[in-house]
């Protein structure tokens, strides 16, 4: 690992970022060919949190949050801080002081493959956080990591400047160069779903709406009646 801080990264276009946020995580993930979704152990610290922004990435070591302090300086309004860790760790690497600092810089959220603390304050401040754990466990500032290099966070390799969308369904990252295509596909999907929802609400079966009966029959599905074993 190079212990570097990369400045002046390229960020995903702000309009595309905004439109990705309007689609939500599930639709973005589908529109991206079912790619980019972080593991589901990342959960919002407070219910109802939603965020979208551009990734500033941080790589830390277990029990050490030094590089998060370094990363704050690299953040701009509209960013989301994305923290990966070189080994599984649940320590509380982030709390209300760092959240105060990030909010002062216009940062939209934190996504961290480790723990956070001051959960109550984070909720009261309405600062959105997705983390692996909530833990009061304090950390040291002793070992260098890196800022704005590609970082694996909860199973996904995040490139600095990627668009990141997060809500109740999890967290998804989209490459800067793929964002326009994902927005286009996602908005089309969203429009299509509206019509489907209406049909289903009226009692149309998915089996018919999606024309599944023929395929099911071909695959060998058999219908039987329950035995009269009473």
Q: Does 175 bind a second copy (CB under 8 A)?
A: no
Q: Does 148 bind a second copy (CB under 8 A)?
A: yes
Please state, in angstroms and as integers, the Cα–Cα distance from residue 121 to each residue in 36, 117, 128, following that order. Answer: 30, 9, 11
Angle at which helix 14-23 crosses helix 179-201, to 10 degrees, equals 20
Q: Does 89 bind a second copy (CB under 8 A)?
A: yes
Strand spans (E) along 11-78: 43-44, 51-60
Torsions phi, psi of 30, nearest 5?
Answer: -65, -45
**Gap between the Cα atoms of 165 and 170, Å rounded:** 8
- Options 22, 78, 86, 185; binder of a second copy; rule CB under 8 A: 86
Shortest gap between Cβ of 68 and a second copy (angstroms)? 9
Q: Does 54 bind a second copy (CB under 8 A)?
A: no
- Options 64, 109, 110, 183; binder of a second copy; rule CB under 8 A: 64
Q: Does 48 bind a second copy (CB under 8 A)?
A: yes
Q: Which of residues 66-85 bind a second copy (CB under 8 A)?
A: 66, 69-70, 72-73
- Options 160, 162, 182, 183; binder of a second copy; rule CB under 8 A: 160
Q: Using CB under 8 A, count the residues that bind a second copy.
A: 98
Residue with the two structure tokens 């551009």: 54
Q: Does 191 bind a second copy (CB under 8 A)?
A: no
Q: Does 97 bind a second copy (CB under 8 A)?
A: yes
Q: Does 211 bind a second copy (CB under 8 A)?
A: no
Shortest gap between Cβ of 141 and a second copy (angstroms)? 7
Closer residue to a second copy, CB minimum distance, 15 or 197 = 197
- Options 56, 91, 110, 173; binder of a second copy; rule CB under 8 A: 91
Q: Which of residues 98-137 bind a second copy (CB under 8 A)?
A: 98, 100-101, 103-105, 115, 117-120, 133-137
Q: Does 88 bind a second copy (CB under 8 A)?
A: yes
Bridge-based pairing of strands 43-44 and 129-134 is antiparallel
Closest CA relative to residue 150, chosen from 175, 171, 170, 182: 175
Residue with the two structure tokens 């810089």: 105
**Gap between the Cα atoms of 128 and 44, Å rounded:** 7
Closest CA relative to residue 63, chosen from 1, 145, 125, 152: 145
Residue with the two structure tokens 């993930």: 29
């Amino acid at each position: 690992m190079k212990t570097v801080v990369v400045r002046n990264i390229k960020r995903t276009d702000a309009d595309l970022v905004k439109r990705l946020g309007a689609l939500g995580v599930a639709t973005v993930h589908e529109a991206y060919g079912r790619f980019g979704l972080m593991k589901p152990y990342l959960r919002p610290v407070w219910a109802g949190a939603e965020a979208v922004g551009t990734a500033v990435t941080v790589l830390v070591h277990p029990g050490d949050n030094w590089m998060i302090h370094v990363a704050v300086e690299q953040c701009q309004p509209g960013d989301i801080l994305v923290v990966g860790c070189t080994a599984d760790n649940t320590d509380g690497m982030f709390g209300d002081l760092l959240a105060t600092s990030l909010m002062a810089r216009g940062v939209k959220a934190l996504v961290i493959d480790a723990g956070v603390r001051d959960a109550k304050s984070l909720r009261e401040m309405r600062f959105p956080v997705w983390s692996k754990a909530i833990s009061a466990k304090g950390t040291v500032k002793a070992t260098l990591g890196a800022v704005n290099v590609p970082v694996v966070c909860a199973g996904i390799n995040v490139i600095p400047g990627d668009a990141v969308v997060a809500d109740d369904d999890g967290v998804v990252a989209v490459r800067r160069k793929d964002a326009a295509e994902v927005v286009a596909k996602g908005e089309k999907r969203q429009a299509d779903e509206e019509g489907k929802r209406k049909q289903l609400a009226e009692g149309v079966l998915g089996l018919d709406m999606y024309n599944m009966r023929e395929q099911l029959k071909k695959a060998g599905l058999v219908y039987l009646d329950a035995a009269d074993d009473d």
